[in-house]
């Protein structure tokens, strides 16, 4: 059982700037929480404050209902796995995993049970007699995680544990970590700057920017309903396309619809979108338009998804085509900004050719140009 509350947590190093500012979060038992954000946004600092490796400058840290700001790291009953997993080179895998327990003077038999159990979970039983130098990167990583598991922590903290691994191994370890979380049922907090890792591992994701929390939500909600342009652009790969556009309301005499224009083409918004904008006082102003690559359709894509609501056709000239196995990315310019559309693999459009594209009107995102907050949320 482990719950965690961070209330108005701040960190200032010697210089006056905040590395972490007003961080608020309630973590329930057994959650898999991800801290994600660009380099320097304060992920490691926050994790280290939870671990007790960094002094908390302001705010309250509650672990299982106990105010824990001033507890020693070892009193917090948590295990941390770092990016540079430190294994003792002169000890076998077994001894590496047993080390913390020996220090605690746990009886030999009990140590053996714990190490064997962790080795079974991580599928490294056959490696127990080896030395670290005879292990691959992924195997070393497992041993480091094994050393953390045997301590039976209430809470696991991991700081970019996979970043030293190649792409294939990372993908494999991601699956392993998910399985591990299910099997152990321990609360986990995991730091990464990789949005794919965040999306696949987390039950909830905390998106950070410049020391502050931008949004906390499940992967799906973050993806579909980002609260601002930063989250919208950070989550999802390839990234959401953005363009600053003009917004008009009731200008079109035929239908009194709200619309925006892209290269002089009108894109009529759905009634519900128009209503949300109106509520916020947005008409006849500039806004930032956003659409994800997979929400841009070709004629064939549109026919295959007849139930969606689309914008009028817009003719674009393809400037590049990328085949990524099961999908094709097509690139084109709108008002000088490069857009990416993810289309069906059968699509044969080449660079230099023209193509009609359609936007899924239910998946359009609109942002205030200044505050960058989402307007149609
Ligand atoms: N010991 C320190 N003294 C002063 N400033 C620090 C110290 N450690 C970190 N910082 C600053 O605090 C901010 C947050 O750093 P932090 O290491 O938490 O970032 P991060 O999100 O983990 O980044 P990365 O993805 O690069 O690991 C940065 O601006 C960093 O320069
Ligand atoms: Mg870091």
43 lines ligand 1 (CB under 6 A): yes
Quick check: do 4-232 and 241-368 share a fold? no
16 lines ligand 1 (CB under 6 A): no
pLDDT at 115: 94
Q: Which of 17, 39, 44 to mutate to test the pocket of ligand 1 (most atoms within 8 A of CB)?
A: 44
Strand order in the sheet with 18-27: 18-27, 4-12, 58-63, 66-67
- Residues 45 and 37: beta-carbon distance below 8 Å: no
Measure 147 CA to ligand 1 centroid, in angstroms: 26
Cβ-based neighbour number of residue 318 at 10 Å? 19
Measure 209 CA to ligand 1 centroid, in angstroms: 12
Strands 286-291 and 241-249: antiparallel
Please indicate, yes or no, whether the overall pTM of this predicted structure exceeds 0.85: yes
Integer Cα distance of 69 and 133 in angstroms: 38
Three-state DSSP at 225 gives coil
Tell whether the model's pLDDT for residue 238 goes beyond 60: yes
CB within 8 A of 13, min separation 6: which ones? 19
Give the closest residue (by CA) to ligand 1 atom 18: 42
Measure 292 CA to ligand 2 centroid, in angstroms: 28
Angle between the 167-184 and 108-122 helix axes, to the nearest 10 degrees? Answer: 130
| Paired tokens of 217 | 């939500």
In the predicted model, what is the mean pLDDT of residues 32-51? Answer: 95
Q: Which of 13, 161, 189, 195 to mutate to test the pocket of ligand 1 (most atoms within 8 A of CB)?
A: 13
Going by C-alpha positions, the residue among 188, 102, 187, 87 that lies closest to residue 139 is 87
Q: What is the CATH code for 241-368?
A: 2.40.50.100
Matching CATH number, 4-232, of 3.30.1230.10, 3.40.1640.10, 3.30.540.10, 3.40.50.300: 3.40.50.300
Taking only the tens place, the pLDDT of each residue in 340-372 is 999 998 899 999 999 999 999 999 999 999 999
Strands 18-27 and 187-192: unpaired
In the predicted model, what is the mean pLDDT of residues 191-214? Answer: 93
- Residues 60 and 69: beta-carbon distance below 8 Å: yes
Measure 317 CA to ligand 2 centroid, in angstroms: 41
Three-state DSSP at 345 gives coil
In the predicted model, what is the mean pLDDT of residues 276-286? Answer: 82
41 lines ligand 1 (CB under 6 A): yes
pLDDT at 270: 93
Tell whether the model's pLDDT for residue 255 goes beyond 90: no
Measure 318 CA to ligand 1 centroid, in angstroms: 41
Taking only the tens place, the pLDDT of each residue in 66-106 is 999 999 998 888 888 877 677 899 999 999 999 989 998 99
pLDDT at 165: 76
- Extents of the domains making up the chain: 4-232, 241-368
């Amino acid at each position: 059982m482990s719950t965690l509350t961070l209330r108005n947590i701040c960190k200032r190093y010697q210089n006056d700037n905040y590395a972490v500012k007003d961080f608020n979060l309630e973590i329930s038992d057994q959650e898999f929480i991800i801290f994600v954000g660009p380099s320097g946004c304060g992920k490691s600092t926050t994790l280290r404050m939870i671990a007790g490796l960094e002094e908390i400058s302001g705010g309250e840290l509650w672990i299982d209902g106990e105010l824990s700001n001033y507890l020693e790291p070892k009193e917090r009953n948590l295990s941390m796995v770092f990016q540079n997993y430190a294994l003792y080179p002169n000890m076998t895998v077994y001894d590496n995993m047993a080390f913390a327990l020996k220090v605690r003077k746990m009886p030999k038999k009990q140590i053996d049970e714990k190490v064997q159990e962790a080795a079974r979970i991580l599928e490294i039983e056959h490696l127990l007699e080896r030395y670290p130098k005879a292990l691959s990167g992924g195997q070393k990583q497992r041993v480091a995680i094994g050393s953390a598991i045997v301590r039976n922590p209430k809470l696991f903290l991991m700081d970019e544990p996979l970043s030293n691994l190649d792409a294939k191994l990372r993908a494999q370890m991601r699956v392993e970590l998910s399985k591990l979380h299910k099997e152990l049922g321990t609360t986990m907090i995991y730091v990464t700057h990789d949005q794919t890792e965040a999306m696949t591992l987390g039950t909830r994701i905390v998106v950070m920017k410049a020391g502050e929390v931008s949004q906390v939500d499940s992967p799906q909600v973050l993806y579909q309903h980002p609260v601002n342009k930063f989250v919208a652009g950070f989550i999802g790969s390839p990234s959401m396309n953005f363009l600053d556009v003009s917004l008009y309301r009731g200008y079109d005499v035929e239908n009194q619809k709200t619309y925006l224009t892209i290269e002089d083409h009108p894109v009529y918004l759905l009634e519900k979108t128009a209503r949300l904008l109106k509520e916020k006082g947005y008409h006849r102003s500039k806004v930032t338009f956003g659409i994800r690559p997979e929400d841009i359709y070709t004629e064939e894509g549109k026919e295959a998804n007849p139930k969606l609501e689309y914008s009028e056709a817009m003719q674009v000239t393809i400037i590049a085509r990328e085949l990524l196995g099961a999908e094709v990315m097509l690139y084109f310019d709108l008002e000088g900004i490069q857009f990416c559309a993810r289309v069906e693999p059968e699509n044969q459009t080449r660079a230099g050719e023209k193509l009609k594209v359609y936007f899924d009107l239910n998946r359009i995102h609109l942002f205030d140009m200044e505050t960058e907050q989402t307007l149609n949320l």
